[in-house]
Chain A
């Protein structure tokens, strides 16, 4: 009977290299999954922010920048509102905070900056709305 050398150590080494390559690839994949998850959450938050900004922008515009009218309309639309001068803060729940800064661009054009933040105070979305000051009802 001849004494042949075992091939197992060679196989073992090959498999260990295989596992190492796999571990590297798996690490990259998991990072990609985590990034995709983060992006998806970000997009969902931005979608919400766009809707909120649109709603608040329409309310400011329809009130022609009148702080009292805007505050009343926001409350009617289910927002909790805080007013500081020409700045209005609104929110429906704790998730998002909407800032509205009402300004006068020219004598006939009113302007408001509407921006939406998440609870970490990161700005998600912002729009500028304008209206004609002397339009009739």
Chain B
């Protein structure tokens, strides 16, 4: 009788042990799943952010690809390089000339749309995205864009200005 009671107790312990193991494994697989999913989301986000700035500026250049519509210069004046490298995109609306400036200032890639080259301050621009730096190099019909994103990763892209290369009949 005593032996049988002892055997029943051991059986119960086995069941409990197995259940504990099961619960631990469920938690482990859940943890693994969450960790893996988090990793995927982080990587996708980083990859998206890495190319976001260059893709944005490149599409702006393509959109403003008119004769002498793209230039690189300083913030105050296009022909006066200063500490804020600025991409100028010129356009004419109803006979009036307008300019869009793209530049980096105080932790943000900024965009400023003004009539002509009015006197404006860098802080006036709209914040497009967080960044750590932005440089432009224009050589001939090529503009090299280099954006350092908020994570400190650099992304470079070369964009070609096509205007002025039309075939003459």
Spell out A's residues near B (CB within 8 Å): 3, 6, 8-9, 11-12, 15-16, 18-19, 22-23, 26, 29-30, 33, 36-37, 40-41, 43-44, 47, 51, 54-55, 58-59, 61-62, 73, 76-78, 132, 134-137
Contact = CB atoms under 8 A, between A and B. Distances in A.
B166 A58 contact: no
| Residues of A contacting B: mostly | helix
Given A12-B15, A47-B47, 15 more contacts: A6-B11, A8-B8, A15-B15, A22-B25, A29-B33, A30-B29, A40-B39, A44-B43, A47-B51, A58-B158, A59-B158, A62-B141, A73-B158, A76-B144, A136-B168
A9 B15 CA distance: 8
Contact of A136 (B4, B7, B137, B165): B165
Given A15-B22, A51-B51, A135-B165, A43 B44 contact: yes
Interface string B39-69: 1100110010011001000000000000000
A62 B140 contact: yes
B36 A6 contact: no
A36 B36 contact: yes
A84 B36 CA distance: 44
Contacts of A8: 8, 11-12, 14-15
Nearest to B22: A19
| Residues of B contacting A: mostly | helix
B89 to A, nearest CB: 17
B159 interface: yes
A128 B169 CA distance: 26
Contacts of B40: 36-37, 40
Contacts of A16: 18
Contacts of B25: 19, 22-23, 26
Nearest to B144: A77
Given A8-B12, A22-B26, A132-B167, A58 B18 contact: no
A15 B39 contact: no
Given A37-B40, A62-B142, A15 B19 contact: yes
Name the residue in B21, B47, B54 with the highest tally of chain A Cβ atoms < 10 Å from its Cβ.
Answer: B47
Given A26-B29, A55-B157, A11 B47 contact: no
Nearest to A41: B43
20 contacts: A12-B15, A15-B18, A15-B22, A19-B18, A19-B21, A19-B25, A26-B29, A29-B29, A30-B32, A33-B37, A36-B40, A40-B40, A43-B44, A51-B54, A58-B158, A61-B160, A62-B141, A77-B144, A132-B165, A134-B167
